[in-house]
Structure 1
Amino acid sequence: MSSRNSKTAKAAARERLREQREKEAKRAKIRRQVTVAVGVVVVLGAAAGIAVAVNQANKPGYWVNAAKQKLVAPANTSGKNGTIIVVGDKTNKNVVHEYEDLRCPVCAAYEQTAGDAVLQGAKDGKYQINYSFAAFIDNNGGTGSKKALSAIGAAVNVSTEAFEEYHKLLYSKAVHPDETNDAFSSSDKLISLAQQVPALKGNTKFSDAVKKGTFDKWALTVRDAYNNDPASSKGTPYVLVNGKQVQVIGQTADQVAATFAAQLKK
């Protein structure tokens, strides 16, 4: 073979090799694109599945059915249909009436700041506390206000002390979700959190009531009582001391205590 032919053959071989490499590169690129596309589909499918599951759990039909159930009022409640939770001596002539929504971030700020001091006042015999609960934040999406209220019913059904501790826990900085986060709509979440409360830890009476929705109808009844109360036009937290509204938003614990003291009957 001549030198010229040899060079031509080698050049042709190099060209075939280059073309082969380009073909392999294209195939590899296509495989990567397919793999990524499939991965995206899988992730989106999983996300869609999760979304469907969440939406199924929050279907309004669940609460429509709950409204048709027989009302079961928790133990240790007061008022018509047990819609009021009382802490302190029920015969005390001084009454602090608090209106709250369990998803309300301003209520959480109030409880985190002054909740312990207000509760201590009831324990010291200065007044009784009447708790009323709303669920209007659910109107913006979710069911956490109602479900947390149902769990509150399960807690007070165990004892008033269990309610006090669970109520404090749900409003704590470590636990209370952002208003747009519907974490309290999960029964499992509410039961898991309750394990931090000694009276509710491992308490099947409590956990079964939350899972079965024993107090779902009661939660709706409490919500409706709030909606029919003039206080519903005031938002939450809304606090009355012996029937007079007092300012608690943005106040320190000492300021709240002083405001309460000024309205108490001697």
Structure 2
Amino acid sequence: MGKGAREATARERIAQLRHADRKKDRNRRLATMVTIGTIAVLAIGGGAWYAAARDTAEKQTAAAQLAPTTVNADGSVTMAQAGVTKPVLDVYEDFQCPACKALEESSGPTIKNLAAEGKAKVVFHPITIFSMEPTKSNSVRAGAAARCITDGAQWPPFHDKLFAEQPSETVEGFPLTDLVAWGKEAGVTAPDWEKCVTSQKFAQTQLTQSDKIIRTEKIDGTPALKLNGKDVDSDVAFVPAKLRQAVLAAGK
């Protein structure tokens, strides 16, 4: 094969790879939009179902009684009583994702309660699923700020605060000054907290780890729950009673 032919083949291969990357990116955005659209339909068109899910939300265990929480080196966060290794409930979420906020409002207390009761080992994976602006940057700022917390006891309240303050997808949100202030409100006491957040020290790590998780765990959209490695259907994930039942059954 001549030099010209080799170069043409190389260019062709690069074009194919770029096309594949664009296709995966479109699919990821579509999956996320579908998830969000589904929740929107439930919240508006099928309001009764969504309202019922929220109305049946469990009362969350008091903060002082939450299961011990550990911030892991890869940015994931484990919430579990000592000695509890299964069942494992993995929660993949994006702080900018409206559907994730909906999950937090309906099943968030159940997830934390199951860990507190010693019924499950819960692992949170805060990732950035969005690729378009301003949602991508909003997500990265929030995710990078959460990575600045190394004290497990201080992570849950900040996690909850981020969802409570989630901005609209159409505007630039999660400003750095607010993230710093919210962390202090949530009880973050690390001396380098403000510098870590405002410098966005872990922004690139947030992106790199997110891409790795999305690929290896085949995450198509958020929120995504996996119970002992198996996907949890949304009609279970968003209904507290059904989610509790599924976790308890998996622990038998």
TM-score, reference length from structure 2: 0.64
Q: Is the Cα–Cα contact under 8 Å of residues 187 and 211 in structure 1 kept in the other structure? A: yes
Identity of aligned residues (%): 21
Give the 3 Å change call, closer, same or farther, for CA 82–205 of structure 1 in structure 2.
same
- Uncovered stretches (5+) of structure 2, i.e. residues with no partner: 1-68
1:187-226 alignment runs, 5 A limit: 187-197=176-186, 199-200=187-188, 203-226=190-213
SS of the aligned residue for 2:132 comes to helix
SS of the aligned residue for 2:245 comes to helix
* Counterpart position of 1:148: 142
TM-superposed CA distance for 1:135, in Å, is: 1.3
Structure 1: 4+ residue segments shifted above 6 A: none
TM-superposed CA distance for 1:213, in Å, is: 2.2
1:117-128 alignment runs, 5 A limit: 117-128=110-121
In the alignment, structure 1 residue 255 sits paired with structure 2 residue 233: no
Work out the CA distance in 1 between the residues paired with 2:94 and 2:178.
18
- Uncovered stretches (5+) of structure 1, i.e. residues with no partner: 1-74
- 1:47-99 deviations in whole A, cap 9, x for unaligned? xxxxxxxxxxxxxxxxxxxxxxxxxxxx9443xx5142211147512100111
Letter in 2 for 1:97: D
Letter in 2 for 1:246: V
**1:111 pairs with one of 93, 104, 114:** 104
SS of the aligned residue for 1:149 comes to helix
1:8-87 alignment runs, 5 A limit: 76-78=70-72, 82-87=74-79
In the alignment, structure 1 residue 229 sits paired with structure 2 residue 216: yes
SS of the aligned residue for 2:246 comes to helix
* Counterpart position of 1:40: none
Give the 3 Å change call, closer, same or farther, for CA 76–214 of structure 1 in structure 2.
farther
Letter in 1 for 2:137: T
TM-superposed CA distance for 1:166, in Å, is: 0.7
Work out the CA distance in 2 between the residues paired with 1:182 and 1:130.
29
SS of the aligned residue for 1:108 comes to helix
Give the 3 Å change call, closer, same or farther, for CA 93–251 of structure 1 in structure 2.
closer
Give the length in aligned residue pairs.
181
- 1:158-180 deviations in whole A, cap 9, x for unaligned? x11211111111112xx121222
